Amino acid sequence: MSSKEEKRVAELRDVLDYHLYRYHVLDDPEVTDAEYDRLYDELVALEETNPKLVIAGSPTQRVGAPPSEKFLKVQHPSPMGSLEKVTTDEALEKWHQDVCKRLGTSAVAYVTEPKIDGLSINLIYEAGIFVRGATRGDGRQGEDVTPNLRTIKAISMRMQLAERETPPSLLEVRGEVYLPLSGFNQLNERLVAEGKKPTPNPRNAAAGSLRLKDSTITAERPLSIWIHGLGQREGLPADGHWESLEWLRAHGFRTNPYAERHETVESVAAACRDWEKRRIELDYEIDGIVIKVDSFDQQRRLGALHDRPRWARAFKWAPMTAETKLNKIHIRVGRTGALNPWAQLEPVEVGGVTVSQATLHNEEDINRKDIREGDNVIVQRAGDVIPQVVGPVLPHAKGTKPFKMPKQCPLCGVDVVKPEGEAMHRCPNRACPSRGLESLINWVQAAADIEGVGEQSVRRLWDLGLVRSLPELYRLTKEQLMELEGYGEISATSAIESIDASKQVPFNRVLFGLNIPDVGWVTAQNLARHFENVDRLLSAAQEDILEVEGIGPERAEAIAEWFSDEPNRALVEELRSLGLRFEIGDELKPVEGPLTGNTYVITGTLEAFTRDEAAAALQAKGAKVLNSVSGKTTGLIVGEEPGSSKLTKARKVEVPILVSGTKLRRLNQKPSVWDLSDMSRCDTGGVRPEKKTSASRKRDDFGTTSRPGFGRSGPGLGGPTSTTGDGRFAPRRTRTGR
Ligand SMILES: [Zn+2]
C-alpha cells in the first residue's frame, strides 16, 4: 500500500464523517445521496485492497460486527443519576422554591428538553474518538453495546473539531437511543411480512434492537439518538448545560432542537404544558419534559441525594396508554359504505380522559395484532386523535376467538365486499342507510358544522323518516323538529336558524359534504380552488380533474363519474336552488402580492410550520403552491424527510432548493427568494390556518382525525368514528440512503 492511498483513506473518512454530521445532526446536507455513495464506495474499495487500513471508527464499519456471545459489564466513569419526577405545576414550583433556598438566590435559569421515551446510554470519547458505549444499567455499571451503537449513524464516531482544536481527553456523553415512530411502523410491517410478532411499542423495539447479539440486524433498524448531557467533562469550555448543548451540537452530537432556556419557573411550567399538547407533532415518543438548572456552578452547589440530582426534575405527563378489557367489537358502516370496526371498552382513564371506545381500523389490522373480544388490551391516545387499541395483553383470555368481519352489512343485510388492494370491507349497496345517514351526520357535524343539530337528532329524524337527504334537512320545519324529544320552541327555532345559516358555508365545505368518493377535506379545497364553481366541475372530464393538485388518475375518474351521475347532478341542482353556495368566495381566490407569479413546491416536514400553514402564508403573498416540481417552479422548499423524487427532479431541472429552519439556507448557487423564518410575521390575510397535528397531516385527506374547526368529531354517540372516511393512512416515510 502506498502512503498516497493511506492519505486518501484518512481523507475519505473525514469527508464521510463530515457529511454524516451535516445530514444527521444538522439536517443540512451539502452533497446528494449519490455523491455520498460515490465517496463511500471509494473508501470501501480502498479498504478492501488494503485491509490493514480498516479501523473500527471507519464509516464502513457501521454495518455491524459478527455476533458476540454476551455483553460485558462495564463501569461508567461517573455514575448516571436518575431523575426525580414532578407531575403538577405545584410540585414544580415547590422544587423551584427549594432550589432558590439552597442557592440563596432566585436568579436561577433552567433548560428544558423533551423527555425521550427511549433507552439511556453512555458514550465515551477519548481524545475525540468514540471508544465505548454502554447501557445505563443500574447507573453505575451497564452493558457494553459498542458494536451495536456503531451502527447508529446519528452517533458520531469522531468529534467534529476545528483546526488545531484539542478535544477533551475523556468525555462522557449521555443520550437516549430511540426508534422514530415512522421506523417503528416500518419495522412492524416488516416483522409481520416475515411472519414474526410485531413489537408492542417503539421503546421496546429500540431496547430490543440495541441488545441484539447480532449487530448486523441492529444496523437494519433505523435507530437514532438525542444527546442530552454529559458525565465526565474535564476541559469542556462551557459554564452551563445550555452552553454544553451548543458545544455538543457544534462537535457533531445530535442534540434536540426543542431544548429551551428559561429565565423563570413560570416559563418552564408553560413549556411543560405546551409540549403535552404538541408531543404528537414529533416523530418519536416523549413522556414528559426534563428540566435542569442551567449553571454548572449552581448544579454543583445543589448536589444530589441518593444519585438523584437536586438540580434536575422530570415533568411527567399522565400516561397515554392504559390497559383495559375489550368487551365487544362493533361495526359501524361509514358514509362511503366502509365497515369500520370499533372496540367497546371497559372505561379506563388514559392521559387524563376516560375512554370507553377505541378504533380498530380494519379486519386485517385486528387479526395481525390478534385482538379478540374479551381480551385485555392496551389502549393508546395521541392528542385529539381517536383512541386506538394497540394490541392485546397476552395470553388471550380463555375462550376467546379470532375476529371475523360479518359477511353481511349490519345495516341493510347485503353481502359485504372487500375490493382488491383495499384494507376496508364495504357494503356495496348504494341504497344502504349508511350512505344517507352517515352523510347527513357528516354534514351536520363536519362539513357544515351546524350548531344545535347533532348526531342524535339526525338519527331520530332519519328513523322518523323526516330527513333522509340533504335537501330534506334544508326543508325541515320548526314544527317537525319540536316533535322530537329534547326540542322546545326556543331550541327548535335556533336549530332551524342554524340550519338556514349553514347555507352560507364555503363551496369547499359543500364539496366535502357531498360524499364524493375519496374527496376529503384537502381534496375538496383543491377542487374548489381549481374549478371555482360547480358548473365547471359538472362539465369537467377526467383529464381536467387530473390537473388539480394531489389528484391521481383513479381519483380523477371517480370524481368525474360522480359528477356525471344523474342523481348526483340533480342533488347539486336542488341544493343550489335551496341557496347553498356552489362557487368560491374571496377566501379561496388567489391574492395579488409580492410573490405573484412565483410557484413553490413543499416537501418534507418543516420545522416551524405545518405544510398547510407554509402554503397558506405563501399564497397570502400571492404565490402558488403546487405538488410537483417542474422547470417553472420558483423553488423547492425542503423540510425534514423530504421526498427524494422531488429533490432529484429539482436538481435535474435546476430549481433552487430552499431549506427551512431558523434561517433559510440555500444549497444551490442561486439566491434564495424569501425567508421561511419571516413567514410568521408576514400577513396571512388575517387568518392563520389552525395548527394541525402531525397525525392529522398523516391522514389529512380522509377526515379521520382532528380537522380545523370541528369541535364535535371524535368519540361520540354510537361509535368512535362518526365522521370517518376509511381510516386509511400512510405511515410517514423514513429516510433511506445514508
Ligand atoms: Zn349496507
pLDDT per position as a tens digit, 94-143:
999 999 999 999 999 999 999 998 899 999 999 999 999 999 888 888 89
Q: In this model, does residue 694 exceed pLDDT 80?
A: no
Residue 718 Cα, ligand 1 centroid: separation in angstroms? 16
Residue 563 phi, psi (nearest 5): -75, -15
Q: In 3D, which of 210, 284, 217, 225 has the Cα closest to residue 64?
A: 217
Distance between Cα 637 and ligand 1 center (Å): 45
**Among the listed ranges 210-214, 230-234, 365-369, 415-419, which one has the minimum average pLDDT value?**
210-214
485 alpha carbon to ligand 1 midpoint, in Å? 28
Backbone phi, then psi, for 249, in 5-degree steps?
-60, -45
Q: Average the pLDDT over 476-490 and give the result.
A: 86
Write the pLDDT tens digit of every residue in 28-70. 778 877 788 888 889 988 988 888 888 877 888 776 655 555 7
CA distance 11 to 14: 5
| Distance in Å, CA 357 to ligand 1 centroid | 22
Report the range of poorest mean pLDDT among 77-91, 591-605, 688-702: 688-702
For every residue of 394-449, DSSP letters joined together read SSPPTT-------SB-TTT-PBPB--TT-SS-B---TT-HHHHHHHHHHIIIIIS-
* Calpha distance 303→469 (Å, rounded): 70
pLDDT average, residue stretch 373-388: 78
Q: What is the pLDDT of residues 71-80, one digit of tens each?
A: 888 999 998 8
Name the pLDDT band for 194 (thresholds 50, 70, 90). Answer: confident
Range name among 319-333, 382-396, 402-416 with the lowest pLDDT average: 382-396
What is d(CA 514, CA 524) in angstroms, rounded to the nearest whole number? 10
User: Does residue 499 have a pLDDT over 70?
Assistant: yes
Which residues are 316's β-sheet partners? 288
Catalytic residue among 52, 70, 94, 115: 115
pLDDT in tens, 673-686: 333 433 322 222 22
Interior/surface letters 289-301, b for 16+ CB within 10 angstroms, e for the rest: bbbbbbbbebbee
Give the pLDDT score at 71.
Answer: 80
Least confident of 90-94, 187-191, 224-228, 623-627: 623-627
Domains of the chain in start order, with CATH, are: 3-61 (1.10.287.610), 73-316 (3.30.470.30), 321-434 (2.40.50.140), 435-517+525-551 (1.10.150.20)
Average pLDDT over residues 332-340: 83
CA 566 to centroid of ligand 1, rounded, Å? 22
Percent of the chain topping pLDDT 90: 26
Residue 264 has pLDDT above 50, yes or no: yes
Grid cell digits, residue 154: 446519528
* Cβ proximity of 361 and 720 under 8 Å: no
pLDDT at residue 704 is higher than 50:
no
With cut-offs at 50, 70 and 90, classify the pLDDT of residue 270. very high
Mean pLDDT of the chain: 79
d(CA 491, CA 563): 37
Instruction: Quote the CA–CA distance of 175 and 636 in Å, as a whole number.
Output: 34
In the reported structure, the alpha carbon of residue 417 is separated from the centroid of ligand 1 by a whole-number distance in angstroms of: 11
- Dist. CA 518–CA 530, nearest whole Å: 17
Using the mean position of ligand 1's atoms as its centre, give its distance from the Cα of residue 468 in Å. Answer: 15
Residue 652 known to be catalytic? no
Contacts for 420 with CB less than 8 Å, ≥ 6 apart: none
Q: Residue 435 Cα, ligand 1 centroid: separation in angstroms?
A: 8
Going by pLDDT thresholds of 50, 70 and 90, the confidence category of residue 670 is very low
pTM for the model: 0.51
Separation of 366 CA from ligand 1 center, angstroms? 21
Q: 18 is written with which cell numbers?
A: 463530515
491, 501 Cβ separation under 8 angstroms: no
